[in-house]
Copies of this chain bind each other. A is one copy, B any other.
C-alpha cells in the first residue's frame, strides 16, 4: 500500500517504523538538501545500520543501486533499490551535533542531526547510547588521492529521490540536515518529503 508524501520540515527529523519489504522514497523536494539517515533494528536497536561494515563488504566508499547496506552485526539491513539523483551520497562523515557547530563558530544550540535522531527515537519510545555514523543521502564530500576531504554543495536536483527497502524490521530515522555554516546544503537548509510503501496491504 502506497502512502501519501509526508513533509519533513527543514532542519527536522523523524523515525519511521518499517517491516521487512517495506520501502521508503526520500525525495529531495527542492534539491540541494542532505538527509542524514540511520536504521535501528527492532526490537534490539543495539543492531544498527553501519557505514563501516557496509564499506568493508561493498569494498567501496560509495553506494550504487542494488547495494545491500549492512548492520553493525553484518546483516543486510537496507537495500538501495532506486536512485534518480546523481548518486552522490556520503558514508564518511559524522552527524552534526552541538560540538560541531561550536567548532565552526556557530551557536552550540544550533539545530543538529544528532539531537534530531535522539528526539525522533524518543517519540518512537527508543533510546540509543551512541549516535552511529549516518548514511548522508545526497551529501557531497569528496576525497582526493591523499585522503583529504572537501565539503561541497549537494548536486541533488528538485524531485530527485532515493528508495530504500527494509531488509529487517527497523526504525528508519531521517534528518533534513540543518547545516548552514558549510556549503553542503547550499547554506540554505530546505524541507524534503518521503513516502512509505508497505509490502502488504493491511487486512483490517
Contact = CB atoms under 8 A, between A and B. Distances in A.
Interface of A: 46, 48, 50-53, 55-57, 59-62, 72-75, 92-94, 97, 99-100, 103, 129-133, 143, 145-151
Contact of A129 (B55, B75, B129): B129
Most chain B Cβ neighbours within 10 Å, of A46, A131, A143, A151: A143
Given A73-B99, A133-B52, A62 B93 contact: no
B56 A100 contact: yes
Contact of A94 (B50, B60, B94, B151): B50
A24 B82 CA distance: 47
Contacts of A74: 94, 97, 99-100, 103
A100 B70 CA distance: 12
- The 9 closest A-B CB pairs, nearest first, are A62-B147, A61-B147, A74-B99, A52-B133, A52-B94, A46-B129, A53-B94, A56-B94, A59-B149
A130 B133 contact: no
Nearest to A55: B92
A97 to B, nearest CB: 7
A103 B48 CA distance: 19
Nearest to A72: B130
A140 B62 CA distance: 19
A178 B130 CA distance: 28
